[in-house]
């Protein structure tokens, strides 16, 4: 290996390690850390982020990248080395634009806004949150100003989460979706579906065992995975052999079961990145959208499907005989797929979910471009909720204050939830072509073909390619809303039954 | 604050953070990490240690220390700032002596030796371990060669664990102890004490509750402490508000109860370091010896005392009525204080423990000075075990291979166990002068006076002073074996009864 490449690789390995170590600190804080340690922990995470930023903007990294330009041009662009140079070049190029003081201030603002948002949400008091939001937006604008001016400033934010994706492209796809979803929701919301039995007493221990059972089936290996309770579920880990998913057990619902399948999808992505690149910045997810395509695939295309429940429903009934002994599979399946416009994105069904995301995506662009007064956000939010979903927002805790993202300065993030959902259907259909007996396998409780297909076509390459190229290599085309819309119509067009 | 001091403080804060973060990674690995993550974790820990070393040897740190010399001379030596400059000067001065390549090689050797030692111990095969030991000793000699030559090279190693302590001083103290212990052991070993009831079936759940009960009593606060199972117990944490002790529950003994009290002592030390210095290198333990004085104090001077068991024995009996319902307090107390020469240091009673440590301390000096051939170590070990403790070593797993330290390159460490034990008695007696009703408090289950006294006189100052100065400030003199020997004679001179 040429010396400059070895040096860049060594520096890249350190950058990746610092990110992984930060993940562990965050995971620990959100699962098992003694709560009094929070302030100290925030300082440690900030130190690691600063070290990572410093390692990335080192002038020597820029020099090595310059020196490596001829090598990069001579390498097969698909090679691990070419991809590493490409990815570090991208990250370095973006990071050197941003003054460390701004990075530090954004981190500080996010840390200080977190308790303010919690308090504002708990008391449904938007005015309390407004100054923190104003500061977050102001800092995002200063961040945008670090880069060359472009027509749509929001693209700069979006690029951090969904590389090389333009908001114009997203808007086009979302318009296509919106045109179909709005009438579909209007039609489906009147359909009578009994899901009353999904709200019942569900004891903790059988819930834990059930979650364990489903991820064991999917392909969890205890020597490389953990599952722990937390407040707001997430997937994390420090490497391909240390995957940590989390869940929240509710005493009166099965929400944990579906969210565990969701986090399993995220975890499997990280687990199946190719070992040769796992310790490098190429060994990350391609984008948040691709990440979400994995979680939504396991949660919805597997976890809310007929074949899966034909296999798994007797197991659920065995764990909760009182709750489900008298409910047949058709009724259960209809209930878990009930379409019902609601206030909260993270609890939305497959059909209404998209409108929650579109609302935020549109609002974020209005915010960044100054088309909406921040103090006016609750009114605008509530109006659009009524327009898009036909629901009346009773208070801001259930409205504009429901998501944590803006408090953390995460503006530009939301669209990836729906982009991922759309891509999950493209991946699923392509997988169905390559694995013709997919449904039969799921119905037998066999998931290895799904894991292997996703591993080979999506996970292995990590972040070697940007998301649309990752998708194109897996399914032959870039993002396309039609399979997603066709899937929804197929599944929900007729009354739902297993 | 002068600019140079602010800069040094900021750098020192980062150094301390990196150490604390390493602790978390080690804690996680030894308690809850999915086991397949070990190789990846070793790489992350190595990255953090390298970053810490790099941060410490930065030329700018040396420059700041030079610039701060006049300020340091003008400050009250007891001030936090003077202590910080002093401690960083010491650490920087030592670290710059050692080439990073050697540091890296020592870390690599330790990582590679760990599984070799485990295998050698499991199969009682010293020949398997010998090459790793030879490498560790060779690296320690190269480490010694980084420093100015001194009369006793072993002092350089000792200084890393017990700053500013000379092996000549330790040898003098240990000679005094040895002269008393050897005849004492010879006399006590013949005494008949029934401890058969300490080996019984102890169910896991009551053991967990018992450990929790005892540290709750001592003063554990769940919002700042955790206790988790592990293979080899240790205390750790990432700061004064995040203390993590560990234990190992055995199904047939109460070992976990005493080791929990031991680790509580370590944890309390870290917990009560003054908040103002906790985020800095002054906010560490003064030395391993002082650390061990804290663990031994809680384990032995509290945990094996008459007053404690007068209070706690009914609670133990309530947890394990079948095992202890028919055993009165006198018999129980005699059993937990039975003197019985044995093979394994970590299970030794208060009287024989010292001889285990002295044996290793003497052997280590012979090793470093080339007075013993490494391949001959098992024979030398076994001879001295017979001479010092009168026990016959059946195999090397129970002999020279029993401790993990040498595999990790930790040579120079062992004497701190006995130094700490000696100091624990000095501290306890001084505390007894300041808190005259100490025994009565313990007998009432009240431990706040102990915690407060230790906090004020030992813990608060962290590493502002070297260990002997820390001790002198607490008890008025430096280390002295007489109180320890008098304590042993008082406790064990007559047949033991509560």
User: With an 8 Å Cβ cutoff, is A17 touching chain B?
Assistant: yes
Specify the DSSP element, H or E, that contains A414.
Answer: none
Specify the pLDDT at position B104: 85
Residue A469's contacts (CB-CB under 8 Å, 6 or more residues apart) are none
Chain A CB contacts of B279 below 8 Å? 40, 43
* A20, A41, A278 member nearest B238 (Cβ): A41
Residue A66's contacts (CB-CB under 8 Å, 6 or more residues apart) are none
Q: Is A119 a catalytic residue?
A: no
Q: Please give the Cα distance from A23 to B37 (Å, whole number).
A: 14
Q: Of these residues, A52, A162, A263, A364, which one is catalytic? A: A263
Q: Please give the Cα distance from A266 to B189 (Å, whole number).
A: 61
Is A8 buried (19+), middle (13-18) or exposed (0-12) by CB count in 10 A? buried
Structure tokens at B20: 């604390």
Per the CB < 8 A criterion, the answer to whether B340 and B198 are in contact is no
**pLDDT tens-digit readout, A54-90:** 999 999 999 999 999 999 999 999 999 999 999 999 9
Structure tokens at B61: 């740190």
Structure tokens at B298: 């809680």
Interval A90-117 mean pLDDT: 91
**Nearest-5° angle of CA A34, CA A35, CA A36?**
95
Residue with tokens 């040094």: B8
Structure tokens at B189: 């070993």
Residue with tokens 């033991």: B496
Nearest CA in chain A to B13: A47
**pLDDT tens-digit readout, A390-408:** 999 999 999 999 999 999 8
Q: Please give the Cα distance from A201 to A199 (Å, whole number).
A: 7
What's chain B look like in SS3?
CCHHHHHHHHHHHHHHHHHHHHHHHHHHHHHCCCHHHHHHHHHHHHHHHHHHHHHHHCHHHHHHHHHHHHHHHHCCCCCHHHHHHHHHHHHHHHHCCCCHHHHHHHHHHHHHHHHHHHHHHHCCCHHHHHHHHHHHHHHHHHHHHCCCCCCCCHHHHHHHHCCCCCHHHHHHHHHHHHHHHHHHHHHHCCCCCCCHHHCCCCCHHHHHHHHHHHHHHHCCCCCCEEEEECCCCCEEEEECCEEEEEECCCCCCCHHHHHHHHHHHHHHHHHCCCHHHCCCHHHCCCCHHHHHHHHHHHHHHHCCCHHHHHHHHHHHHHHCHHHHCCCCHHHHHHHHCCCCCCCCHHHCCCCCHHHHHHHHHHHHHHHHCCCCCHHHHHHHHHHHHHHHHCCCCCCHHHCCCCCCHHHHCCCCCCHHHHHHHHHHHHHHHHHHHHCCCHHHHHHCCCCHHHHHHHHHHHHCCCCCCCHHHHHHHHHCCCCCHHHHHHHHHHHHHCCCCC
Residues of B annotated as part of the active site: 263
Specify the pLDDT at position B495: 60
Alpha-carbon gap: A275 to the closest alpha carbon of chain B (Å): 11
Instruction: Give the number of other CB atoms < 10 A from CB of residue A464.
Output: 26
The percentage of residues in chain A with a pLDDT greater than 90, rounded to a whole number, is 92
Q: Please give the Cα distance from B53 to A488 (Å, whole number).
A: 57
Chain B CB contacts of A279 below 8 Å? 40, 43
Q: What is the pTM of this model?
A: 0.95
Q: Please give the Cα distance from B53 to B41 (Å, whole number).
A: 18
Q: How far is CA B331 from the centre of its chain?
A: 30
Q: How confident is the model at residue A190 (pLDDT cuts 50, 70, 90)?
A: confident
Q: Please give the Cα distance from A211 to A205 (Å, whole number).
A: 10
Alpha-carbon gap: A403 to the closest alpha carbon of chain B (Å): 27
Question: What is the per-residue burial (b if ≥16 Cβ within 10 Å, else e) of B392-416?
Answer: ebeebbbbbbbbeebbbbbbbbbbb
By three-state DSSP, how is residue A479 classified?
coil
Q: Please give the Cα distance from A38 to A44 (Å, whole number).
A: 10
Among candidate residues B111, B15, B20, the one with its CA nearest the CA of residue B61: B15
Torsion, CA A355, CA A361, CA A366, CA A372, rounded to 10: 50
**pLDDT tens-digit readout, A364-397:** 999 999 999 999 999 999 999 999 999 999 999 9
Question: What is the per-residue burial (b if ≥16 Cβ within 10 Å, else e) of A156-165?
Answer: bbbbebbbeb
Q: How far is CA B437 from the centre of its chain?
A: 29
Concatenated DSSP letters of A302-329: ITTSHHHHHHHHHHHHHH-HHHHTT--H
**pLDDT tens-digit readout, A395-447:** 999 999 999 999 989 999 999 999 999 999 999 999 999 999 999 999 999 99
Task: Give just the sign of the alpha carbon dihedral A45, A158, A388, A363.
Answer: positive
What number of residues does chain A have?
498
Specify the pLDDT at position B2: 78
Residue B191's contacts (CB-CB under 8 Å, 6 or more residues apart) are B339, B495
Per the CB < 8 A criterion, the answer to whether A419 and A169 are in contact is no
Chain B CB contacts of A44 below 8 Å? 17, 20-21, 238
* DSSP secondary structure code for residue A282 in this structure: G
Specify the pLDDT at position B494: 65
Paired sense of beta strands B242-247 and B225-229, if any: parallel
**Nearest-5° angle of CA A51, CA A54, CA A56?**
110
User: With an 8 Å Cβ cutoff, is B60 touching chain A?
Assistant: no
Specify the DSSP element, H or E, that contains A238.
Answer: strand A235-239
Q: Which of A27, A36, A46 to mutate to test the interface with B (most CBs of B within 10 A)?
A: A36
Structure tokens at A217: 């089936």
Largest CA distance in chain A: 70
* B25, B36, B243 member nearest A24 (Cβ): B25
Q: Please give the Cα distance from A184 to A488 (Å, whole number).
A: 9
Structure tokens at B438: 């100490």
Specify the pLDDT at position B498: 59
**pLDDT tens-digit readout, B199-230:** 999 999 999 999 999 999 999 888 999 999 99
B237 Rama class: left (phi>0) / alpha (psi -120 to 50) / beta: left
Structure tokens at B325: 């319902």
Q: Please give the Cα distance from B318 to B257 (Å, whole number).
A: 15
Rg of the Cα atoms in chain A? 23
Residue with tokens 């992984």: A20
Among candidate residues B445, B390, B343, B370, the one with its CA nearest the CA of residue B154: B370
User: With an 8 Å Cβ cutoff, is A90 touching chain B?
Assistant: no
Among candidate residues B400, B455, B330, the one with its CA nearest the CA of residue B129: B400
Specify the DSSP element, H or E, that contains A65.
Answer: helix A59-74
Cβ–Cβ pairs < 8 A, chains A and B:
106
Structure tokens at A447: 């998931």
User: With an 8 Å Cβ cutoff, is B446 touching chain A?
Assistant: no
Structure tokens at B56: 């410490």
By three-state DSSP, how is residue A228 classified?
strand
Q: Give residues 229 to 268 of B whose Cβ lies within 8 Å of A.
A: 238-244
Spans of chain B, pLDDT less than 70: 494-498
* DSSP secondary structure code for residue A342 in this structure: -
Per the CB < 8 A criterion, the answer to whether A84 and A282 are in contact is yes
Torsion, CA A348, CA A352, CA A358, CA A363, rounded to 10: -60
Paired sense of beta strands A235-239 and A242-247, if any: antiparallel
Task: Give just the sign of the alpha carbon dihedral B431, B435, B438, B441.
Answer: negative
* A40, A243, A279 member nearest B43 (Cβ): A279
- Determine, for residues A47 and B226 on separate chains, whether the beta-carbon distance falls below 8 Å: no
């Amino acid at each position: 290996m040429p010396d400059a490449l070895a040096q860049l690789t060594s520096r890249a390995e350190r950058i990746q390690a610092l990110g992984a170590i930060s993940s562990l600190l965050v995971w620990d804080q959100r699962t098992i850390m003694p709560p009094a340690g929070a302030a100290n922990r925030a300082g440690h995470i900030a130190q690691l982020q600063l070290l990572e930023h410093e390692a990335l903007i080192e002038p020597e990294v820029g020099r090595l990248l310059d020196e490596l330009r001829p090598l990069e041009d001579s390498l097969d662009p698909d090679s691990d080395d070419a991809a590493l140079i490409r990815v570090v070049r991208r990250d370095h190029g973006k990071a050197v634009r941003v003054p460390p003081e701004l990075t530090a201030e954004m981190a500080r603002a996010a840390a200080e806004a977190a308790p303010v948002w919690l308090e504002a949400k708990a008391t449904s008091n938007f005015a309390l949150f407004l100054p923190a939001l104003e500061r977050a937006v102001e800092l995002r604008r200063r961040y945008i100003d670090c880069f060359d001016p472009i027509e749509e400033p929001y693209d700069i934010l979006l690029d951090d989460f969904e590389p090389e994706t333009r908001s114009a492209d997203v808007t086009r796809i979302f318009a296509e979706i919106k045109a179909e979803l709005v009438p579909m929701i209007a039609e489906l919301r009147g359909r009578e579906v009994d899901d009353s039995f999904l709200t019942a007493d569900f004891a903790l221990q059988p819930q834990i065992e059930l979650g364990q059972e489903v991820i064991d089936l999917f392909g969890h290996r205890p020597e490389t995975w953990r599952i722990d309770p937390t407040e707001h579920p997430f997937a994390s880990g420090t490497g391909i052999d240390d995957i940590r998913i989390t869940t929240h057990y509710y005493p009166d619902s099965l929400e944990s079961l579906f969210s565990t399948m969701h986090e399993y999808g995220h975890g499997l992505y990280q687990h199946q990145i190719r070992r040769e690149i796992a310790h490098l910045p190429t060994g990350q997810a391609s984008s948040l959208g691709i990440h979400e395509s994995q979680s939504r695939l396991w949660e919805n295309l597997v976890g809310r499907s007929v074949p899966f429940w034909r296999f798994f429903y007797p197991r659920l009934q065995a764990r909760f005989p009182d709750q489900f002994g008298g409910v047949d599979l058709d009724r259960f399946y209809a209930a878990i797929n009930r379409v019902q416009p609601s206030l909260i994105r993270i609890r939305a069904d497959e059909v209404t979910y998209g409108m929650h995301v579109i609302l935020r995506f549109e609002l974020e662009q209005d915010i960044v471009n100054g088309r909406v007064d921040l103090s006016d956000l609750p009114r605008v939010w509530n109006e659009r909720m009524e327009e898009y979903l036909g629901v009346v927002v009773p208070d801001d805790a259930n409205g504009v204050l429901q998501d944590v993202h803006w408090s953390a300065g995460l503006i530009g993030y939301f669209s990836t939830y729906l982009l991922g959902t759309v891509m999950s259907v493209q991946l699923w259909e392509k997988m169905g072509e390559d694995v013709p007996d997919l449904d039969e396998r799921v119905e037998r409780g066999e998931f290895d073909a799904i894991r292997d297909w996703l591993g080979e076509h999506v996970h292995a390459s990590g972040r070697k390619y940007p998301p649309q190229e990752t998708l194109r290599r897996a399914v032959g085309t870039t993002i396309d809303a039609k399979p997603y819309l066709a899937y929804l119509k197929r599944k929900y067009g007729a009354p739902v039954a297993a």
